[in-house]
Amino acid sequence: MPSFPKTMLHHSEGSNRKRPGGPFSHKHDIQEQRRALPIASAEEQLVEEVSKIDTLVVIGETGSGKTTQLPQFLYKGGFCKKGKIGITQPRRVAAVTVATRVAEEMGVVLGQLVGYSIRFEDKTSSATKIKYLTDGMLLREALLDPMLQSYSVIIVDEAHERTIHTDVLLGLLKAVQKRREVSNISIGDRKLSKKREFENGNSDSAKVSDLKLVIMSATLDTAGFSEYFDKAKTVYIQGRQYPVDILYTYQPEPDYLDAVLITVFQVHLEEQPGDILVFLTGQEEIESVERLLLERSAQLPADSLKLVVTPIYAALPCDQQMQVFKPTPKGSRKVILATNIAETSVTIPGVCYVIDPGLVKARIYNPRVGVESLTVLPVSKAQAVQRSGRAGRERPGKCFRLYTEDSFYKLDDATVPEIKRCNLANVVLQLKALGIHDILGFDFMDKPSSIAIRKSLEHLYILGALTDEGKLSDPLGVQMSSFPVEPLYARAIILSCEYKCSAEILAVVAMLSVESIFYQPRGKSEEAKAAKQRFQCSDGDHITLVNVLRAYVCEVERMGNGHAAGKGILRWCKENFINGRSLRRALDIYSQIERYLHGMGLPTMSCKDDWMQFRRCLTAAFFLNAACRQADGSYRALSSGQTVSIHPSSVLFGKKPDCLVFNELVYTTRHYIRHITRIDSTWLPELASQYFLSKTAS
């Protein structure tokens, strides 16, 4: 059981400043709420700064209102006369929730004046002037509109998160802004430009850009952004942060999930009313903790508050993500189980208590061996501070860190930018599609290693996406860059049309784009394994995934529509220990990717039950992820030479096939490969002859 020492007070930055009134409530006038935000008093100054200079860095503390209010200030200030205001978000849930809030504040229908665009969903129209969208979606828009002419202002929000898309976007926007410089400026503007030149010590040019950039961050460490954008001016907006008491454990916790459960009930039974936000590393953990909380809450005293458990993570459908923002029912306490999606991107009302195990799941890519692994890592100090701040948005709160105080001070100061630890193949492919061929010379804010870039170029060349000259191949490379999926999956989809199994490959890609199709409740592992066997194929996990989606679609068609049908589908999912939410999301992704396929004039065809043809297609598509069994029973990945083992969750665990292809490598106690299918080793030189013959020759 985690034990906490006497409360250690830690008042977050700005906690002693004057704080405006309480939380947002629909009972209060929306305009009064807006006027109560700290940013409201800076409206005129912000509009003036954006009009005067090309790039502005805004430090907006948590609760300042920067994300919802600044776009409205600029709209009111006339910045939409020649284009839209685009506001990028690192996560889709933030784009949706903030756009919804702004539409409400402006009294307009969502999708008209105010809208959003996220992967697989677009809620905009020709009338949209304030557009919230993910970083990745703006990059995709740049493929069709390289100069981003439809935008007059672009706001990069939550820039401190430094996702891989954010870093590429910053470099792209910097270049676009320079290309959109204009010299035919008015007398007044020319005077202003000359004044800027004098202040900056530069009188060589009188050009200004007609694309305004605003870089917004919730952290004070913004010197890098200012420097990157040629010493851009920085303005600071104080937030609305109440004091947060930080509590640590006396000893390290050997089982942090058990510690989470105990701490939730400790807070629930001993603390004042207020919702609890728990940070976990992924969907599987969240679903496991959710089930255990619901089971154990049945044993709570009759006079205690009822526990309402709501999850939020990236793979969760938007309508279900929205559940966390609904008011907590009277007589209840909400427990929100979240990934790092809730650190800064979204604000969940009602939270007074935060439980932080101090861990995060991250992708780590080793370019030397070409292997990407999903690893659970300690958070950085900056992340820990952001997490604790979630408890002080509406009133004084508490953060329970499930690690020792010494451990906190040993954490890294900041998170390593994603672009320095991830596979860059998708980034390189997108840059090539944008006509940027000198990847090594691209102006990244934090340049990835040259070996990582070269390995990505080599990877894309092997997949056939690049020519010998390093340009996009036509049609394969051009087609691959059009799909909103990883290059390996994009190539698999295109190849599947040749093998007449595109329906099955689409199903695989969709199912691999969501997490945790099967689950095993405690005490029911045997029943869950028996249920999984109904869909299993001895050839591997990919066919098993196809079988699950096929069975689900058949069940939906058999049940029809209506409330009773919905209940029947839920019952079917429960009986088969299947995550219905993940399946619905997979089906939606399937439909969206199929539209891209049809847009290229490529058909959807099914191989029915010709699994030999399907496995040959998998071999041709995923040959870089082939592995062969060694004499000691382990497997060697052919492209990297790394020793790997079959994950216990795989259909092929314990079966010892001679050769296989896989889709994911996860490191826990050893390197495990997941999502596996048995193949014939003779298919590799036949279906990927150029690659394997060259390896043999070398």
**pLDDT at residue 45 in the model:** 92
**pLDDT at residue 302 in the model:** 85
Number of structural domains found in the chain: 4
Confidence band for 237, pLDDT divided at 50, 70 and 90: confident
Pair (204, 104) in one structural domain: yes
Comparing 194 with 465, the larger pLDDT belongs to 465
**pLDDT at residue 697 in the model:** 52
**pLDDT at residue 541 in the model:** 96
Give residue-wise pLDDT tens across range 375-388: 889 999 989 988 99
Rg from Cα positions in the chain: 26
Closest CA to 368 of 291, 259, 454: 454
Q: What is the mean pLDDT of the chain?
A: 86
- CATH code assigned at 162: 3.40.50.300
Q: Can you give the residue range of the structural domain that contains 160? A: 30-237
Three-class DSSP labels, 424-485: CHHHHHHHHHCCCCCCCCCCCCCCCCHHHHHHHHHHHHHCCCECCCCCECCCHHHHHHHCCC
Tell me whether strands 643-646 and 635-637 are parallel, antiparallel or unpaired. Answer: antiparallel
Pair (183, 301) in one structural domain: no
Residues across the chain: 698
Residue 602 above 80 pLDDT?
A: yes
Average of per-residue pLDDT across 137-165:
91
Q: Is the peptide bond before 329 cis (omega within 30 degrees of 0)?
A: no
Answer whether residue 224 is part of any domain.
yes
Angle CA 276–280–286, to nearest 5: 85
Among 139-143, 154-158, 173-177, 200-204, the range scoring the smallest mean pLDDT is: 200-204
**pLDDT at residue 202 in the model:** 44
Residue 25 above 60 pLDDT?
A: no
Answer whether residue 688 is part of any domain.
yes
Decide which of 574, 602, 618 is a domain's last residue.
618
Residue 287 above 50 pLDDT?
A: yes
Decide which of 237, 262, 296 is a domain's last residue.
237
Pair (255, 372) in one structural domain: yes
Residue 545 above 50 pLDDT?
A: yes
Confidence band for 2, pLDDT divided at 50, 70 and 90: very low
Give residue-wise pLDDT tens across range 428-483: 999 999 889 899 899 999 899 899 999 999 999 999 999 999 999 999 999 999 99
Residue 326 above 80 pLDDT?
A: yes
Give residue-wise pLDDT tens across range 413-433: 888 888 988 889 999 999 999
Pair (154, 265) in one structural domain: no
Average of per-residue pLDDT across 601-614:
94
Answer whether residue 628 is part of any domain.
yes
- Residue percentage of the chain with pLDDT more than 90: 55
**pLDDT at residue 315 in the model:** 66
Answer whether residue 509 is part of any domain.
yes
Answer whether residue 91 is part of any domain.
yes
Pair (245, 341) in one structural domain: yes
Q: Which residues are bridge partners to 518 per DSSP?
A: 578
Pair (654, 538) in one structural domain: no
**pLDDT at residue 174 in the model:** 94
**pLDDT at residue 369 in the model:** 67
Comparing 194 with 460, the larger pLDDT belongs to 460
Pair (272, 199) in one structural domain: no
Residue 296 above 60 pLDDT?
A: yes
Give residue-wise pLDDT tens across range 88-112: 998 888 899 899 999 999 999 999 9
Decide which of 601, 618, 635 is a domain's last residue.
618
Q: How far apart are CA 361 and CA 374, in angstroms?
A: 7
Pair (140, 225) in one structural domain: yes
* DSSP, residue by residue, 83-124: SEEEEEESSHHHHHHHHHHHHHHHT--TTSSEEEEETTEEE-
Q: How far apart are the first and last CA of the chain?
A: 57
**pLDDT at residue 28 in the model:** 52
Answer whether residue 19 is part of any domain.
no
Average of per-residue pLDDT across 66-80:
95
Pair (183, 317) in one structural domain: no
* DSSP, residue by residue, 45-64: HHHHHHHH-SEEEEEE-TTS
Pair (376, 272) in one structural domain: yes
The reported pTM is 0.76
Pair (498, 562) in one structural domain: yes
**pLDDT at residue 249 in the model:** 95
**pLDDT at residue 50 in the model:** 94
Residue 606 above 70 pLDDT?
A: yes
Pair (321, 411) in one structural domain: yes
Comparing 493 with 347, the larger pLDDT belongs to 493
Q: How far apart are CA 345 and CA 694, in angstroms?
A: 46
Average of per-residue pLDDT across 353-370:
86
Average of per-residue pLDDT across 280-288:
88
Answer whether residue 449 is part of any domain.
no
Which 3 state secondary structure label does DSSP give 152? strand
Residue 203 above 70 pLDDT?
A: no
**pLDDT at residue 271 in the model:** 93
Answer whether residue 2 is part of any domain.
no
Confidence band for 223, pLDDT divided at 50, 70 and 90: confident
Residue 18 above 70 pLDDT?
A: no
Average of per-residue pLDDT across 349-373:
85
Q: How far apart are CA 501 and CA 543, in angstroms?
A: 12
